[in-house]
Amino acid sequence: MSKGILHKMNTQLGNTCVEYSLDLEEKKISLNSLIQKNITITHTGNIYCIECGAKTNKSFAQGYCYRCFTTSPHTEECVLHPELCQAHIGIARDLEYAQNHCLIPHYVYVAETSDIKIGVTRNTQIPTRWIDQGAIQACIIAQTPNRYTAGVIEVALKQFVADKTNWRKMLVKTKPEYDLRHEISIIQKYLHNYSEFLIESEIQHITYPGSISSAKIQSVKLDTKPTISGILQAIKGQYLLFENGEVINIRSHGGYEVTIIE
């Protein structure tokens, strides 16, 4: 049995599929090796802020206490809305953090998750960002000098292309439905005002461990079901998928203290 505080799963591209691991205190659990094995995840009832470590009754923004949620640069408004970033004009909760995270090259990308979507991420977060979203193929279409400019481009595309993912469809999708290069050629036509930022890059194809046999899936939260147990069937995005159709989003449980029996 392992005990610790949940953070989002660590990911890296392996030879055949994404390799997942989970850090619980001093033990690192290789999750790929648990596919087709019975595991039990139990919430102890405790929640701790993933930034300051304080015990909290409620987790905000996937793992923060309320104080850190309202003050941390990790939860600033531009995390979800890059077009609202003001670091380029010298305004941020933490200017040193912004210098290293907002005022660096950012990418605008096209990915197939549930359907075709667009997104923004730092140049240091490829392919992690795509994996966390459950993309099965993705490609960079533009590079900008900062987060704000990438956000402006994303907003310009939102009227033509979705920027959200249907998590249920994403989880059960196993094969691409779209010719991504063709989709990109269409999307780029909407960016004639931003042609200076457009770049050509390779399409990244991503495969995930395990397979899903049931189209009927049910999201489970540890708040309402403190113990989740069953055969681990697959892992995709930040979700663990069990044979009985239950799925748990590990990232949304950031800060939850759990025990895991392998």
Q: What is the reported pLDDT for 212?
A: 82
pTM for this one? 0.95
Q: What is the reported pLDDT for 226?
A: 98
DSSP 62: T
In this structure, are 80 and 201 located in the same domain? yes
| Domain final residue, candidates 205, 222, 241 | 205
In this structure, are 170 and 235 located in the same domain? no
Tokens of 89: 């004009």
Q: What is the mean pLDDT of residues 93-121?
A: 98
What is the separation, in whole angstroms, between the first and last Cα of the chain? Answer: 7
Tell whether 17 is covered by a domain: yes
pLDDT band at 211 (very low <50, low <70, confident <90, very high): confident
Average pLDDT, the chain: 96
Structural domain span for residue 45 = 2-64+209-261
The answer, yes or no, to whether residue 214 has pLDDT greater than 80, is no
Report the number of distinct structural domains present in the chain: 2
Q: What is the reported pLDDT for 216?
A: 85
pLDDT digits (tens, 9 = 90+) for 237-256: 999 999 999 999 999 999 99
The answer, yes or no, to whether residue 215 has pLDDT greater than 80, is no
**CA-based nearest residue to 75, from 103, 52, 104:** 52
In this structure, are 91 and 186 located in the same domain? yes
In this structure, are 50 and 167 located in the same domain? no
In this structure, are 59 and 100 located in the same domain? no
Tokens of 63: 């793992």
In this structure, are 82 and 41 located in the same domain? no
Tell whether 71 is covered by a domain: no
In this structure, are 216 and 180 located in the same domain? no
Q: How many C-alpha atoms does 262 have within 13 Å on its Cβ side?
A: 14
Higher pLDDT, 216 or 251: 251
Q: What is the reported pLDDT for 26?
A: 77
Q: What is the reported pLDDT for 25?
A: 83
Q: What is the reported pLDDT for 150?
A: 98
Q: What is the reported pLDDT for 64?
A: 98
